[in-house]
Amino acid sequence: MPIYKNIIESVDDGILIITINRPEKLNALNTMTLSELKKCIENAYDDMGIRGIIVTGAGEKAFVAGADIAEFSELNELNGRKFSERGQEIFALFENCIKPVIAVVNGYALGGGCELAMSCHLRIGTENTFFGQPEVSLGIIPGYGGTQRLTQLVGKARALEMMLTGEMVGSNTALRIGLLNHLVATKEDAIAKAKDILYNIFKNAPLAIGMVINCVNSAFSKSVDGYQIEANSFANCCKSMDFKEGATAFLEKRKPEFKGE
């Protein structure tokens, strides 16, 4: 397992835990941390031993408090576009991962932190979780997919209110508007909840899981026909060994043994 400067990785029972580890800067995403995040998720794509992923922040105070504002003085029109596109590309790797990715959102998830959490498939928060897109207060806008994913998750009016005021929403509101899937008391509880959900997902056929993620993501793409993707994926499932195993196991009144084939 590679050694990173700003990320800690651990693997337990098929679950990779990615912890962004710059607590003295509230886990702000500087260039190095983003590069390391990219490597982590790319490795997770390839590692057959990893079946699901949890993303969280070190410490109790922050998931990620945003892109690293200390690096903003370098930004101009030319590299600003690259900055945005690079973040979008890396977060798309999380969204498009065919293994389930859950964000355990401890503390502040602001700016790029909110955007990272939203690129994960599910989000679990704690009593001190705060989401926000405060970029307009700095004279910029969310650039790592936030304008799109926040709108998808909470709807246009709520997304506009959050992005135009820059104000944070707490965990109860986040749960109510659909930013959080679950709200628990502490970070430990959130990790345990994330693991429970992942183990429930792991009972199911791996190919089908990946296809559901892909089809649901297609619902938000303007360049593909989600219904066509769904029909193609369904057909692919029908020729899989796992489909035969799932249907046979049901009829034989036993638990299926899926192999991801």
Contact set with ligand COA (CB under 6 A): 25-26, 28, 65-70, 108, 110-111, 134-135, 138
Query: Minimal distance in Å, beta carbon 253 to ligand COA?
Result: 53
Q: How far apart are the first and last CA of the chain?
A: 26
Closest to ligand COA by CB, 1 or 69: 69
State both tokens at 156: 């246009």
Query: Minimal distance in Å, beta carbon 97 to ligand COA?
Result: 24
3-state SS, residue 143:
coil
Place of tokens 């004279």: 139
Choosing from 24, 85, 135, 261, the catalytic residue is 135
The question of whether 127 is a catalytic residue gets the answer no
Closest to ligand COA by CB, 66 or 206: 66
Choosing from 42, 115, 230, 245, the catalytic residue is 115
The question of whether 9 is a catalytic residue gets the answer no
Question: How many other CB atoms are found less than 10 A from the CB of residue 203?
Answer: 9
Closest to ligand COA by CB, 143 or 206: 143
DSSP 8-state class, residue 29:
B
Query: Minimal distance in Å, beta carbon 260 to ligand COA?
Result: 39
Closest to ligand COA by CB, 119 or 240: 119
Question: For residues 89 and 115, is the Cβ–Cβ distance under 8 A?
Answer: no
Question: For residues 259 and 241, is the Cβ–Cβ distance under 8 A?
Answer: yes
122-125 and 108-110 strand pairing:
unpaired
Residue 144 has φ and ψ, to the nearest 5°, of: -105, 40
Question: How many other CB atoms are found less than 10 A from the CB of residue 76?
Answer: 9
Question: How many other CB atoms are found less than 10 A from the CB of residue 247?
Answer: 11
Query: Minimal distance in Å, beta carbon 163 to ligand COA?
Result: 12
Question: For residues 201 and 209, is the Cβ–Cβ distance under 8 A?
Answer: yes
Closest to ligand COA by CB, 134 or 145: 134
Question: For residues 229 and 94, is the Cβ–Cβ distance under 8 A?
Answer: no
Query: Minimal distance in Å, beta carbon 24 to ligand COA?
Result: 6
Show which residues are catalytic: 115, 135
